Amino acid sequence: MIKNRCLLVGVICASVVLLLIVKAIVKSFLLARRLPKWWNRKRVLLTGASTGIGEQIAYILAKFDCDYIITARRKKELDDVARKCNEIIKAQGGQGRCISLVADQSKEENIHRAVDFTLKELGGLDVLLLNAAETYFRPFDTLNSRESLDLAHLIMNTNYFAMLTYYRDLLPELRRTQGTMLIVSSLSGRSGSPFSPFYSASKAALNAFVEGVSQEREDGVNLCVALPGTVATQICLDNIGQKFYDSGMAADLCARKILETPVKRKQFSILPIEGYVQQPLNMLAPKLYRLASKMVLPSYDEIMQVHPQWSNQIPDLNAVSTGSNKKVE
């Protein structure tokens, strides 16, 4: 009797798992078909497209025959990406085009200029895709008071206030076209990451803004946020080393999953599977979460091995008076 019950439970569990697998395969197949149709011929403004995730997004948009503007601070790298994108469009006989525009989104006047240029060149906008971000990985105690404040202001200006400016400027147009604002945020905005607390804070502010403003009014604008974890980009390699670069999600795969976010009609799309466990675990068992984080995130010593020069820059906190910005030599 007990054996029969165990067998029945086993069969039921196996059936459920099989159904979930089949469901996932079907959803993946349907999404693969819907993705190019959704993006085809869209008018897009993409920020942060000179390297990494943004560069890979630009190449995929070319394959979808989009009409789009790409921005970044570095002209040479940005122009190279635009040239490759236009070659992709031409090779497949598309009608789209990729236009590069140098812009530093930490400067408000650059954002207004990018908005005006986009609307003039494209004649309108369907998708505002905000990928540009200022990142850093550095122990807090290696920054003096002035450096920490300057870095915090730079990151908040680039990652958060720039998004507000773009959204404010383009909201009338996005309402007119029933368009989409797609933001590349980060899992660190859900649970703060060590060695980049300013970055985590900027992404948390961004996530909270989208969640709040989307509840204010049904205006037809689709607000959605992609939440990647560690991605194998040059920034990752330079800042936290080969070990974590090798374990990160490939940039081209991350780019495709970001572009799937509005197609799936999800406001927040968590890209790595482990991300679905992160926040619930942090809320229900914070000690266990921190223990798990120590196993997968770089340690203080590992960061200092990648950047040994910082060991000579740790200020003597006891020698700095409260509120002082004076650098300790």
Phi-psi region of 123 (alpha: psi -120 to 50; beta: other; left: phi over 0): left
Identified catalytic residue from 160, 199, 245, 289: 199
**CA-to-CA distance for 68 and 58, rounded, in angstroms?**
9
Instruction: Name residues whose C-beta falls within 8 Å of residue 217's C-beta, 6 or more positions apart in sequence.
Output: none
Output the six-digit token pair for 232.
């194998």
> Strand order in 180-184's β-sheet?
97-102, 67-72, 43-47, 127-130, 180-184, 222-227, 268-270
Tokens 């799936």 belong to 264
Residue type, 30: L
**CA-to-CA distance for 167 and 130, rounded, in angstroms?**
10
Nearest to 137 by CA among 206, 238, 271, 205: 238
**Residue 276 annotated among the catalytic residues of the structure:** no
Nearest to 160 by CA among 109, 209, 213, 212: 209
How many other CB atoms are found less than 10 A from the CB of residue 198? 22
Q: Are 46 and 71 a contacting pair, CB within 8 Å?
A: yes
Nearest to 189 by CA among 199, 176, 175: 199
The dihedral built from the CA positions of residue 191, 196, 198 and 199, taken in this order, carries a sign that is: negative
Q: Are 236 and 230 a contacting pair, CB within 8 Å?
A: yes
DSSP 133: -
Q: Are 243 and 60 a contacting pair, CB within 8 Å?
A: no
Q: Which sequence positions are flagged as catalytic?
A: 199
